[in-house]
Amino acid sequence: MPEGDTVFRAARRLHEALAGHPVARFDLRVPQVATVDLSGETVHAVVPRGKHILHRIGSWTLHSHLKMEGEWHVYRRGGRWRKPGYKVRAIVGTTEWDTVGFDLADIAVVPTEREGELVDHLGPDPLSKDWDLAEAARRVSADPREIHVALLEQRNVAGFGNEYANEILFVRGIRPTTPAPEVDAAALLDVGARMIRANRDRSGRTFTGDSRPGQSTWVYRREGRPCRRCGTQIIGGELGADPTRERIIFWCPVCQT
């Protein structure tokens, strides 16, 4: 699942390919915006916001969300795509590059002056220049739900997904079901911010410092295996804000109390 660091890297690649150039090809393959054409407009910037990507083109903003399976690829103009055409939801190209969005969700085009309507509900983003730890901690602490759920709530803090939530909680020694108001949210989020910033420029995400296959996580997807710290068997389960949003969770019953 794409998380904030994945989205950050995708936006950076898109920005490097498109920024400063006029659009030579613009094709949105979703019904609600299929007739929009920004060809000829200049791409000013492509920026991430949590798990959202914003293309600022002319006086407009193209918004997309990667959700569970979305990807943006960058190809030399006319290059062969690595995924099938039926999965394409958006193409933004220049005379030199084609950027192709596969399996994207929540695509919208709005005047740039109104892009806040799409992303202003999000909490502070640890990968943004204006990261506000105190405000993020305030929001998480005010959430009465389990801390794992509170960390995934993008209105509290933008960018953390399920893998990060599991790994952050292990490193801080907090069980996923602990009520959020009982947690030192500032310390928890400080660890999370340092984790996601460390992974921002890596091609392979790691939480342990070891990026080899099978060695990069403390607890995530390690149910039934020994804890890397104490040797106790890792436990797995499911938790969510409601039955339709349950996520898999993992924890060590000794290291996380």
3-state SS string for 7-33: HHHHHHHHHHHHCCCECCEEEECCHHH
Q: Is 226 a catalytic residue?
A: no
Q: Is 69 a catalytic residue?
A: no
What are the DSSP E strand ranges found in 3-125? 25-28, 43-49, 52-57, 60-65, 71-76, 88-93, 97-102, 105-111
Q: Which of 9, 51, 205, 222 is catalytic?
A: 51
The candidate with the shortest Cα–Cα distance to 3, out of 165, 138, 116, 135, is 165
Could you count the other beta carbons within 10 Å of the beta carbon of residue 89?
19
Are 188 and 150 within 8 A, CB to CB? no
52 CB-near residues (< 8 Å, 6+ apart): 7, 63, 64, 65, 106, 118, 119, 122
Q: Which of 3, 115, 163, 167 is catalytic?
A: 3
Q: Which of 2, 48, 124, 176 is catalytic?
A: 2
Are 223 and 234 within 8 A, CB to CB? yes
Q: Is 2 a catalytic residue?
A: yes
Q: Is 51 a catalytic residue?
A: yes
Q: Which of 9, 56, 175, 247 is catalytic?
A: 247
Tokens of 157: 């803090």
The catalytic site residues sit at: 2-3, 51, 247
